[in-house]
Structure 1
């Protein structure tokens, strides 16, 4: 499928910065082809507003974010506070329509791979149901190795196609901290999944030129359809 689901180990892992970096690269170097971005579910204010501001996507709000709830909580809880339910069929229909219109679609998940979408399903279940290839964002911090191992195990249990791991410096990190907290070789050895690169801490995560440069340093052959 000509789409990629970007998920993480948890909230604030760096899904948004990877999505914006890949979109910035696409619009800089692949502008002869059309890109779509989707945030299937959003609670509170955040990513859909950012993508609408940064990129010329020619998408409606419903194409960008088909289901939204006001409270910044897990979707089933946020939905219940509004007396509603999470309509998975609405999300799928919006994705299918956008996917037909665009050459490639970046889908940014909410929370982490194990985050609830409904009371019965998680982001991992969504990836399996939609048959989406997945990239996992792992923040560089103490405990990153264990988080990577646990999330890869969940991906395997859910039988999803995990294309690789991207490490992300949510906070400024020294080379020694990166080597000590998130050594790529050890993560690859323990998970048998390739680390596709590292996103450094960005002082301005809305700088599209810098974001495109950051994306260029990743293993883009695994992340974008460049061939």
Structure 2
């Protein structure tokens, strides 16, 4: 199974949206897909317990059956930084615990597994560890989602630099247009394509209502096969 850690340039860069589109595109090509969101803040209380909308969207996009608790083992209610939400809930986040959950789903049978972080690359899990430490522990290549808006070049280059400094490979990046009126969009895209030393997997235009099935049409078949190692 090919496994990738998905990170973004910032909160709301479109990690979940892009991951859903990629999962759906892979599924349309006949690949078996799974996802994992180690920790999610901003969950709602339901009759089945806390549920996160990003996690449920990811589950809708993947095509292999799996329990919610395997997809999102740590669900926190307040829509704030995970380490602060955990403190308020009286629990402790750690790389060791999160890596254990991730390795559990990595044993499942599928072709593609996307492990989605929260926020950006350096989001804290506790006073000493960040989600970057989880990615380093898992030793899987990274897919970087760039939220295309003013300021994205700086955010993207700093994130790419941090990923490489942590010793991880950037398998590719996705340009996700979150500002429909972004000034000089094409010029920004060209700059990023030149300066990020990794393949541009897909360019997803601004999509009304976060329709990831429609966005999947913008994921090239060649990009999916490249990620699955069948190009």
Report what 1:3 is aligned to.
Answer: 3
CA spacing shift, 1:218–1:14, aligned 2, 3 Å: farther
Q: Is the 8 A contact 1:173 1:201 kept in 2?
A: no
SS in 2 for 1:30: coil
CA spacing shift, 1:29–1:70, aligned 2, 3 Å: same
1:224 is aligned to 2:228: yes
SS in 1 for 2:208: coil
Report what 1:50 is aligned to.
Answer: 57
Q: How does 1:53-202 map to 2 (within 5 A)?
A: 53-103=60-110, 104-173=112-181, 177-180=184-187, 182-184=188-190, 186-202=191-207
Q: Is the 8 A contact 1:69 1:75 kept in 2?
A: yes
Q: Is the 8 A contact 1:66 1:90 kept in 2?
A: no
Q: Is the 8 A contact 2:172 2:198 kept in 1?
A: yes
Q: Which runs of 5+ in 2 are unaligned?
A: 44-52
In structure 2, how many angstroms separate the alpha carbons of the residues matched to 1:13 and 1:64? Answer: 21
In structure 1, how many angstroms separate the alpha carbons of the residues matched to 2:215 and 2:34? Answer: 17
Question: How much does 1:56 deviate?
Answer: 4.5
Q: Which 4+ stretches in 1 moved above 4 angstroms? A: 53-56
SS in 2 for 1:183: helix
What count of residue pairs does the alignment treat as equivalent?
Answer: 221
In the superposition, the TM-score normalised over structure 1's length comes to 0.87
Question: How much does 1:110 deviate?
Answer: 0.6
Q: Is the 8 A contact 1:48 1:65 kept in 2?
A: yes
Q: Is the 8 A contact 1:67 1:87 kept in 2?
A: no
Q: Which runs of 5+ in 1 are unaligned?
A: none
Question: How much does 1:159 deviate?
Answer: 1.1
- Computed over aligned residues only, the root mean square deviation of the Cα atoms, in angstroms, reads 2.2
Report what 1:215 is aligned to.
Answer: 219
Q: Is the 8 A contact 2:35 2:59 kept in 1?
A: no
